[in-house]
Chains A and B, each alone.
Chain A
Amino acid sequence: MALKIVKGSIDRMFDKNLQDLVRGIRNHKEDEAKYISTCIDEIKQELKQDNIAVKSNAVCKLTYLQMLGYDVSWAAFNIVEVMSSSKFTYKRIGYLAASQCFHESTDVIMLTTNQIRKDLSSPNQYDTGVALTGLSCFVTPDLARDLANDIMTLMSHTKPYIRKKAVLIMYKVFLKYPESLRPAFPRMKEKLEDPDPGVQSAAVNVICELARRNPKNYLSLAPLFFKLMTSSTNNWVLIKIIKLFGALTPLEPLVGTAGSCLSSVSVLISLSSGMPNHSASIQALCIVSRPLSVLSLFVVKYLGLLAMSKILKTHPKSVQSHKDLILQCLDDKDESIRLRALDLLYGMVSKKNLMEIVKKLMLHVDKAEGTTYRDELLTKIIDICSQSNYQYITNFEWYISILVELTRLEGTRHGHLIASQMLDVAIRVKAIRAFAVAQMATLLDNAHLLTGNTQHSGICEVLYAAAWICGEFSEHLEDPMATLEAMLRPKVATLPGHIQAVYVQNAAKLFSTVLCGQEGAPADSKVAQETSQLLIDRLPVFVQSDNLEVQERASCILQLVKYIQKLQQKDVEVAEEVTALFAGELNPVAPKAQKKVPVPEGLDLDAWINEPPSGSESEDEGRKTKGKAVFAREESRHTKPRYTEVDEKELAMRREVRKAEQANNPFYIKASPSSQKVYQEAVGVEHIPVVQIDLSVPLKVPGMPMSDQYVKLEEERREKNKADRKKKDKKKRREKGRQRRGDSGPESEEDITPAHMVDIVTEEMPETALYTIPCLFPSQKSSKHKKKKQKKEKDKKKKHHHHHHSDGAREESVQNGTVEDEEPLPVSKQSPFSLSTQSNPCPLDVCDIQGNLHDGSQVVVSVIFENKCDSFIKSMEFNVMDSLNSKLQRPEGAGPHDSLTVPFHLPPGISSEARFIFSVQSIVMPQKLKGTLTFIVKTEDSSTHEKLDFKLHFTCTSYLITTPCYSVLCPDLNFRLNCFDAYAKLLESGDLKGSSLKLEGINQPFHHLLARICFHHHFSVVERIDSCASMYSRSIQGHHVCLLVKTADQTVSIDAKCDEPGLLRNVLDEIKLTFSQC
């Protein structure tokens, strides 16, 4: 038995495998049929053997032949045999063959039932998988009946890999054996909600296919599928579900009225997801818009919007024309549709339609129920307006009123968002400041309405912005006194700390403005004193605040005001000095402004100014900055640039600290607002009576909300413009004739001019950026650095150079020896292996072979493959015809003639190195090995299989290892010094046979000569005296080779001794050859 198996596997090595068969067929193009018939005979022989490996190989070949159209039905039984092998390798091939060759009338299928059942319950999931895959191709009604139960069990397997296969194959089983459907269906339904997405999509697939055959029975699943459709992100699944709905629609009027719409939408989604730049999507848009307007069907709407949002990314203009349709969707009952519509709106605003869209959205805000949707609306409005630096806003007064109107929202969480918008606009749009200040003053005046019932709602955030704007731009205030009074009301003390702090600080700013106004009229010095008194009266409330910052600011300002009052009592004019406290205009600085500061010449930002700090410094710094954060509002917004080297980690830390700083700094223009708190009520500013009414209900403004006025105004203005332009156009047209016909469209985007020009400062360079930084370093340091680098590079090159020609050991030997010259040695390139390519127009060039020796009987050959053609080269296989003496080492399990795969592909112009190991028995003789390299050249639309023949030349030298003599002769370190003695002893011992060589006409320096021998023939110098040197080397099998080289008058004589005369003779021949070549 054992013998048979061994015999089998040895035989196997000489069999053709599939690759050989394919290659053979390709090589016998003329007599293919004849060749194949001999192959089939061989296969028949192979099938008769007991060895399963041989059989599976034969079956594999048969599968290929079957594809070529040859009848292989006679081997059906053998296929079953291979299928039932216990080894996965063979089982896999068996099942593949079965799935390709079996059909319903194949009679041996009956025999497979038990085998398949066994495989299905195999503990190895891949056995089961292979059986399921195979079964799906050749399942017959009988098999389906017998195995239905087993497969059903697998549907609840622990591995998703098995589950999904089992689910899919159930469809085939249902088709062949419909009775199985009823018991299996509940489990199939369960799988729709399987945690694994693969299993889920498999179940969707199966049910969709089933539903197509008999839709009636699957109506009850519609809600489940709808849920899947809204939650799934898998387009493949989505398409299947849409298809299912398409099948259901004819039956149920509620589900749909037009299946065709569904399918067109499904086409669209696949279009837009699969090929985002497809031009057809524009046309497809028409298809979506039609059902959207005609149908109120939620599925269609949802999908239509989904498709539109995908198209929007590529063709925004074409979606914009459907604005009304999308706005209608905002009225939909279904929240998911409304949210989708909102998403769409964001992308489709333009200068022209912004006001209209926002107006519509504001109406929805009023109507909206449920805070989440309302909050979503609010953020969307702000997003829409503020996108790309307020690109679409033409009238900022309108925007401020919108923001003020938004503060009316009950229970919103986004107060902070509104506040940051107010600050942002007021700071960046100078022209709007007067208006903004007026609005904010009203807001402050009616603060009690905002605070409303819940003290700690998000309201305060708006007041924070309002107070700051009123303070900073107080020169625009009509009645600063009233605002000052409003800011110092006792109720303010109930606001959160950080807002109180802003109140106090800005009250001081206002105070300075008020003083300015009052002192202008000298008669009213008393009024000015009263103002001071007001502050002195009101501020103590804040001094008692439990918030540290409020306390500190209040007490500071209180003392300041007291001092001012004293001066006022002495009739000293103080207004100017007080104003100086808050002097300086605030300019917006873009977040990236620092980058625009040019680096002065000669300044090296990466160099240290001082010695690098110790490790603890960075931590220290962080703490310091955090400590400062309490007073962050007072901090300068221009942080000094630090010219220090920092690592990533530290940078990240600093960034965090800086972000925290910026978040608290109203001077800083933020990139994105962070989320914030809740709002109670808000006011429509202009129409609020100034008289204080204590209302707890939201204040409704009579008549039109004020932002609407702008819309109206804008419309009127546009009408007027249109009329004007028409007039002008007419004139021009008359003047220029037909030339200008095309571009007079009054609706085009460019025609909309902003209502008032506002300068939006975006990426402008701050004024401070103009200063120059003094040159701290002369360029000395950097140049030094450069030099070093250059040197390093040189070193590297040198190393590389050495490495290229010799390995480390050899290099060492050169140094150990007496070669003292530093000059590069005149080494001519001669590889120990020769290579002959046989006139092949081949783009591959095996340009260099380096021999490398290791212990025992192994030789490592490094081959450099270089692709010199323009095509991609892949699947390179390296093969050498083994001789009795030398063999290419192949991986375990490979046959003696198998080729080795080169482990890389070669793109054009690339070279790469691969190493091959040969085992050698006798090293006495040089030898040549023939080999072939096969590879695939891949051009753009074809690929060719190429072959390259070459010869490997193993010289005897290549079997020598450079060995410093002492390491062999005197392994004991103590004897190292005596190595020359050892060398002498070795020579004297008489074990070595001698031989000699004379070289004439050598006129190179002696050390070059020695170096040459060392380099090419792997010797090392033991001792050199004048023009005489002794050298040593050792073969991989331990032969000692000793040389005595003498030179005189262009004649070099080499006396050599070695314990293997054959080897010595060959080495000497090779040395002779080396010198004859130079």
Chain B
Amino acid sequence: MQFMLLFSRQGKLRLQKWYVPLSDKEKKKITRELVQTVLARKPKMCSFLEWRDLKVVYKRYASLYFCCAIENQDNELITLEIIHRYVELLDKYFGSVCELDIIFNFEKAYFILDEFLLGGEAQDTSKKNVLKAIEQADLLQECCMTDTVSQSFSMV
């Protein structure tokens, strides 16, 4: 997978993950172009489209478009499956996820994505494993937080 973009029906970017190093300018250009193309498509149209020398696989969930770019030899269906799996993960983690969850907790959404995909490849197909890893990392983070606070107070 080359990159993944999440954007709203209004074309606002909600999440972006690039697995190929590109300059900011290029990223912006690609994003703009792709968002326009995808948004212009009708709901009954196919979820796959060929775009430049890549294939784009997208799916709309409520008001959010999940959009992935893959290479030509890659399997579209498995990409669709990956998108769906990611949505399922978000849903499990946030509990009936919605766009605002991703906006307000966008770093969490990234953390989940990073546990699921690494370098554009699915690293674990088990939902349970991914969520477990996230939960434990979150726990670690909270421990850190309380540590710092209590430390700074004990210094007083």
Contacts and interface: CB of A to CB of B under 8 A. Distances in A.
B146 to A, nearest CB: 5
A274 B75 CA distance: 14
B19 A136 contact: yes
A9 B96 contact: no
Interface string B60-99: 0011000000000101011001000000000000011011
B58 to A, nearest CB: 16
Contact of B133 (A105, A161, A941): A161
Contact of B125 (A64, A136, A236, A874): A236
B155 A2 contact: yes
A941 B118 contact: no
Interface string B123-155: 111100100010011001100111111111101
A102 B95 CA distance: 32
A137 B19 contact: yes
B119 A169 contact: yes
A29 to B, nearest CB: 11
Contact of B137 (A105, A126, A132, A209): A126
Contact of A133 (B73, B114, B149): B114
Contact of A941 (B62, B103, B141, B156): B62
Contacts of A941: 62-63
A137 B73 CA distance: 22
Q: Is the interface of A mostly helix, strand, loop or mixed?
A: helix
Contacts of A943: 62-63, 98-100
Contacts of B96: 872, 874, 905, 938
A803 interface: no
B110 interface: yes
A767 interface: no
A308 interface: no
A593 interface: no
Contacts of A945: 100
Contacts of B24: 71, 73, 103
A267 interface: yes
Candidate in A63, A136, A872 with the most chain B CB atoms within 10 angstroms: A136
A138 interface: yes
B141 A202 contact: no
A539 interface: no
Contact of A171 (B23, B114, B119, B152): B119
Interface residues of A, number: 77
B84 to A, nearest CB: 8
Given A270-B81, A271-B77, A892-B149, A22 B125 contact: no
B15 interface: yes
A22 B23 contact: no
A411 interface: no
B121 A168 contact: yes
B2 interface: no
B144 A89 contact: yes
A893 B137 contact: no
Nearest to A208: B121
A67 to B, nearest CB: 6
Interface residues of B, number: 59
Nearest to B32: A69
A266 interface: yes
Contacts of A68: 13
A988 interface: no
Contacts of A5: 151-152, 155
B124 A89 contact: no
A40 to B, nearest CB: 16
Q: Is the interface of B mostly helix, strand, loop or mixed?
A: helix
A621 interface: no
A180 to B, nearest CB: 15
A471 interface: no
B114 to A, nearest CB: 4
A22 B102 CA distance: 11
Contacts of A88: 137, 140-141, 144
A1067 B129 CA distance: 58
Nearest to B137: A126
B22 A103 contact: yes
Contacts of A104: 21
Contacts of B125: 197-198, 201, 234, 236-237
Interface in A200-241: 201-202, 205-206, 209, 212, 234, 236-237, 239
Candidate in A68, A71, A89 with the most chain B CB atoms within 10 angstroms: A89
B57 to A, nearest CB: 13
B107 interface: yes
Contacts of B15: 67
B152 A6 contact: yes
B149 A18 contact: no
Given A234-B125, A938-B96, A274 B77 contact: yes
Nearest to A907: B96
B111 interface: yes
Contact of B104 (A22, A126, A905): A22
A243 interface: yes
A133 B116 CA distance: 10
Contacts of B119: 136-137, 168-169, 171-172
A133 B144 CA distance: 20
B106 interface: yes
Given A67-B16, A132-B118, A270 B63 contact: no
Contacts of B63: 941-943
A940 interface: yes
Given A96-B111, A205-B122, A212-B73, A874 B98 contact: yes
Interface string A927-945: 0000000001010111101
B48 interface: no
B118 A169 contact: yes
Contact of A103 (B23, B107, B123, B151): B23
A130 B110 CA distance: 12
A60 interface: yes
Nearest to A269: B77
Nearest to B151: A5
Interface string A116-132: 00000000101001101
Given A22-B103, A69-B28, A209 B98 contact: no
A774 B75 CA distance: 70
B76 to A, nearest CB: 9
Interface in A23-76: 53, 60, 63-64, 67-69, 71, 73
Contacts of B75: 239, 243, 266-267, 270
Interface in A239-259: 239, 243
Interface in A68-102: 68-69, 71, 73, 87-90, 92-93, 96, 99-100
A19 interface: yes
A164 interface: yes
B145 to A, nearest CB: 5
Contact of B77 (A161, A270, A893, A938): A270
B7 to A, nearest CB: 10
Given A89-B141, A137-B19, A209-B121, 15 more contacts: A63-B107, A69-B28, A88-B137, A96-B111, A103-B24, A124-B140, A130-B137, A161-B133, A169-B119, A198-B124, A236-B125, A267-B77, A271-B77, A893-B146, A941-B63
5 contacts: A92-B137, A105-B23, A168-B121, A270-B75, A893-B146
9 closest Cβ contacts across the A-B interface?
Answer: A136-B119, A2-B155, A943-B98, A89-B144, A133-B114, A89-B141, A270-B77, A168-B118, A103-B21
Interface of B: 13-19, 21-24, 28, 62-63, 73, 75, 77-78, 81, 95-96, 98-101, 103-104, 106-107, 110-111, 114-115, 118-119, 121-126, 129, 133, 136-137, 140-141, 144-153, 155-156
Interface of A: 2, 5-6, 8-9, 18-19, 22, 53, 60, 63-64, 67-69, 71, 73, 87-90, 92-93, 96, 99-100, 103-105, 124, 126, 129-130, 132-133, 136-138, 140, 161, 164-165, 168-169, 171-172, 197-198, 201-202, 205-206, 209, 212, 234, 236-237, 239, 243, 266-267, 270-271, 274, 872, 874-875, 892-893, 905, 936, 938, 940-943, 945
